[in-house]
Structure 1
């Protein structure tokens, strides 16, 4: 009996040790300037959790970026959107570091990328060099920090991923030090009547009011049935005013630990579950983020270490429920809020089905057809059962309620009524006035969407626009100069662009957010004298614009 007890204690201890994974603590810093953050790991972003740290670069571009450890470059991506110019380094300890929104690559890396871009005649490339092709050493300069891609200002986006799973891990777990003596902020606490009542209301979310200057409420809140708790919370670090994400959220009911969310790691395949983790309706209508401390049936996010009864509180009449909400940052600074729920008799509400809506179960596939429209939703498209609505106004189709999140791509097909046959291949499918694509096939214009909205068809016969920033006939340039042009399209979106000098393809950087194309002379072998520059831009429906000017190279 004693031996059996010791075995149980040993296994329990071993399980606890394995649950507390330790990470390497010997990586170097990617920047050699004070490490001040503008964004934290798993911070709440539109449709995703932030996969790394955003490190401030003193409001400027061009700061040296260093490899955090020995390894080899396993991927280099250049894109006019997203991460912009990015480097991925695989390290021998099982982790991969990522450096994004770079201004330019350095040394052998820059030469390798340039050769590949010219070989493929494309600015945008996604490269996977063979192991050993581009080796790097700890603290080697690999790039300059920048603002490329979808960046909203100069900074370094920095990630550490598990190499095998490509799952991002919070870089703070690896021993990086950031000054942080500030407690997180709690800007609101909410009680949700999931299948019951909160604060006297069965339909609306109840915002908890606290005693002035505190996060404690002394007056009990009447509740019944199944309810959940939500919290609007942010963190701030020293030296920055940014409203960042917290590291953990814990909920205790009568001192029982019922819910935990921890920002240790997140999978890209699960990142869209943020729309279930948060109050999507509140985000859409009020622009703020509320973390729900309870799980919808379809929420499969693996960032919850505790989820008793999915975090849902079953309130019984006459009983009291002391609620304690604790939010922490990575440094352990914490803020606590407390209040009490008092159970009342739960009067079941008779559900009245809206005649214009159709009940969709969250976990099965659904097909819907109406006049001139077909929809297909795969299984698990939603996080909970929804009331699906549809209406048609003129030639527009209002599909669903835009405050309800959709997890998976659903297929939408619209009959191109009244559109001439010669324009069918120029027709785009729009959502809320913006193109999402669209292909004509078997009498329908079809594409996919991950959001509800108002869908319609529009014909795009308009070619892209090209506006010169600094190039006119006879303009003079030196080896340190750049040719700059802005390109845009009114509907379908730009598919490709081709820049040439004297008939030969040249590399032009494209920054989509600024609609800016740039050609830099410093890396090109352009002889002194007269030359012809030409640019052709094509949109996704084949409309094309050509631009040509002469210039002089000094």
Structure 2
């Protein structure tokens, strides 16, 4: 009876832990065979991918269908991010998101343009009422595109819990993606996680060699170790019909056959997505661009993707004992790649004990930290970083150096420069704070000028300088000339660019009336649909003003002829 009781009890626990999703409520959002360019939970810069990216046969303009009955609950159009995005809330408690669109269905497009002309803004965010834009399953609600932060034509598709806003892997809703290939292993490392830990007599990150056996299992070369250690891997998954390197759905770590760490990408919240920087080996990523996934929980890792973990995944290796570590990499279709790592517990004299790099400043992550460096000050609010560390802060006449790019920041911090020595500069409003990317190029940081101080808020460590931008943007007409008849033109095309601080705003008018122009930052184009509005007469004056982030502006004017 006791045995039966425990079996029933465990069965209830398993059932309780498994979320059931409706598999027959949704149709596919596209009417082509679905092939993925990116999958749910894929590793991206500072975040996990929150949906699936569906290939659109390298084309824009494919019909996008509402996957179920519902209503348009949100529309957001921005230059970056999802570009043109549509949100549809469904009666079953879920909201679907369609991103990087080129345009919307007829009624939705008309609704949006009316609001854009009212606000005189291309970028807009709307929350229609329940009864304003109802849709039925199979309605054409949009057309696929490449807007926003997209690297090529595709449809970004998400499913969210309408109440909690948690994002859920769309594959749980019956969307079928062919996948017969197991994840691919690209690299394997070991980590020592204590002052007395070692792998083969060394501390730090240890590269492991491995070979694939006849049965497909990867076998690492045996290692000796002692103290707390763990492992990390670099790899990807690939679905049928595409060569894209996509994310791995689940990871299981076993120690001598017993579960030690289990994680999967079923669901997570946007609030925790930036914690990806605790999940990956961030120092290795910052140095080489390679994303190694750690099999242990580092400081600040509060991700909800773990269903099981022992001792934060840190494995205690005791001298005289043998261990077999297994790492299983799984995709959604349960194709598995297994890695076996034989470990023998043995003390070694450490030959490369690294000395902790100490600086004049020790940062406590759980409290506010304020530093004055030369003519600058830096304020790190509590929990800006994931853990305590010695922070390296320096300055000279040219720049402020804030530690290094190998340390991730979890949240924003403030940098303030005292510019008392510049207060009489007549061009003070043309100066701004710039950070430098990994290529060494300056990047505009949103800059606030108040009295004799110049400040910014940022989440990036590295080099900061005060630069001046005195050059206005460049504006060129691409498909028409001054005093030209344009009666047969469907659109007018411009290129706009700025050499340093970047473009902040643009405004176009015809005969003094604001017109809607769409900015595509990836190719510096600005487009006006000539069929949007009707104008009286045949002679028209066009004026386009483009302003950069420090206020330099260029105004382009042209006369054209068109009968509407």
Q: TM-score, normalised by structure 1?
A: 0.95
* C-alpha displacement of 1:30: 0.3
Q: Counterpart of 1:463?
A: 472
* C-alpha displacement of 1:540: 2.6
Whether contact under 8 Å (1:81, 1:513) holds in the other structure is: no
Q: Counterpart of 1:389?
A: 392
Q: Among 21, 24, 38, which residue is 1:23 paired with?
A: 21
Distance in structure 2 (CA, Å) of the matches to 1:201 and 1:36: 44
Larger deviation: 395-404 or 354-363? 354-363
Q: Counterpart of 1:84?
A: 83
* C-alpha displacement of 1:212: 5.9
Aligned-partner SS, 1:131: coil
Aligned-partner SS, 2:271: helix
* 2:211 is the counterpart of 1:211: yes
* C-alpha displacement of 1:352: 4.9
Q: Among 429, 433, 446, which residue is 1:429 paired with?
A: 433
Whether contact under 8 Å (1:527, 1:553) holds in the other structure is: no
* C-alpha displacement of 1:417: 5.4
* 2:289 is the counterpart of 1:290: no
* C-alpha displacement of 1:479: 4.8
Distance in structure 2 (CA, Å) of the matches to 1:336 and 1:483: 56
Q: Among 463, 468, 475, which residue is 2:484 paired with?
A: 475
Q: Among 495, 511, 522, which residue is 2:520 paired with?
A: 511
Q: Counterpart of 2:303?
A: 301
* 2:235 is the counterpart of 1:233: yes
* C-alpha displacement of 1:49: 0.4
Aligned-partner SS, 2:60: coil
* C-alpha displacement of 1:200: 2.4
Distance in structure 1 (CA, Å) of the matches to 2:259 and 2:292: 20
Distance in structure 2 (CA, Å) of the matches to 1:457 and 1:29: 50
* C-alpha displacement of 1:553: 1.4
Distance in structure 2 (CA, Å) of the matches to 1:72 and 1:13: 39
Distance in structure 1 (CA, Å) of the matches to 2:427 and 2:446: 15
Whether contact under 8 Å (1:231, 1:291) holds in the other structure is: yes
**Deviation readout 1:212-258 (Å, 9 max, x if unpaired):** 66654364212222212101110111110000001101111111211
Larger deviation: 480-489 or 155-164? 480-489
* 2:366 is the counterpart of 1:363: yes
Q: Among 241, 244, 249, which residue is 1:242 paired with?
A: 244
Whether contact under 8 Å (2:201, 2:349) holds in the other structure is: no
Q: Counterpart of 1:411?
A: 414
* C-alpha displacement of 1:464: 1.9
Distance in structure 1 (CA, Å) of the matches to 2:349 and 2:318: 12
Q: Counterpart of 2:315?
A: 313
* C-alpha displacement of 1:198: 2.1
Whether contact under 8 Å (1:69, 1:139) holds in the other structure is: yes
**Deviation readout 1:122-161 (Å, 9 max, x if unpaired):** 1110000111110000000001111111111111000000
* C-alpha displacement of 1:275: 0.9
Whether contact under 8 Å (1:478, 1:521) holds in the other structure is: no
**Deviation readout 1:86-143 (Å, 9 max, x if unpaired):** 1000001110000011111112101100100000001110000111110000000001
Q: Counterpart of 2:439?
A: none
Q: Counterpart of 2:141?
A: 142
Q: Counterpart of 1:71?
A: 70
**Deviation readout 1:421-458 (Å, 9 max, x if unpaired):** 34443321111121112112353211111111101111
Distance in structure 1 (CA, Å) of the matches to 2:474 and 2:365: 44
Q: Counterpart of 1:280?
A: 282
* C-alpha displacement of 1:347: 6.4
Q: TM-score, normalised by structure 2?
A: 0.93
Residue-pair matches, total: 551
Aligned-partner SS, 2:267: coil
Whether contact under 8 Å (2:251, 2:327) holds in the other structure is: yes
**CA gap 1:428/1:378 in 2 versus in 1, 3 angstroms:** same
Aligned-partner SS, 2:219: coil
Whether contact under 8 Å (1:276, 1:299) holds in the other structure is: yes
**CA gap 1:135/1:394 in 2 versus in 1, 3 angstroms:** same
Aligned-partner SS, 1:110: helix
**Deviation readout 1:10-65 (Å, 9 max, x if unpaired):** 55433321211010112111001111111000100111100000001111011100
Distance in structure 2 (CA, Å) of the matches to 1:479 and 1:92: 45
**CA gap 1:207/1:357 in 2 versus in 1, 3 angstroms:** farther
Q: Counterpart of 1:224?
A: 226
**CA gap 1:351/1:289 in 2 versus in 1, 3 angstroms:** closer
* 2:157 is the counterpart of 1:158: yes
Aligned-partner SS, 2:114: helix
Aligned-partner SS, 1:74: strand
Distance in structure 2 (CA, Å) of the matches to 1:296 and 1:176: 34
Larger deviation: 397-406 or 527-536? 527-536
**What stretches of structure 2 of length at least 5 have no aligned partner?**
437-441
Which runs of structure 2 are paired with 1:462-541 in the superposition (5 Å)?
462-527=471-536, 529-541=538-550
Distance in structure 2 (CA, Å) of the matches to 1:86 and 1:211: 45
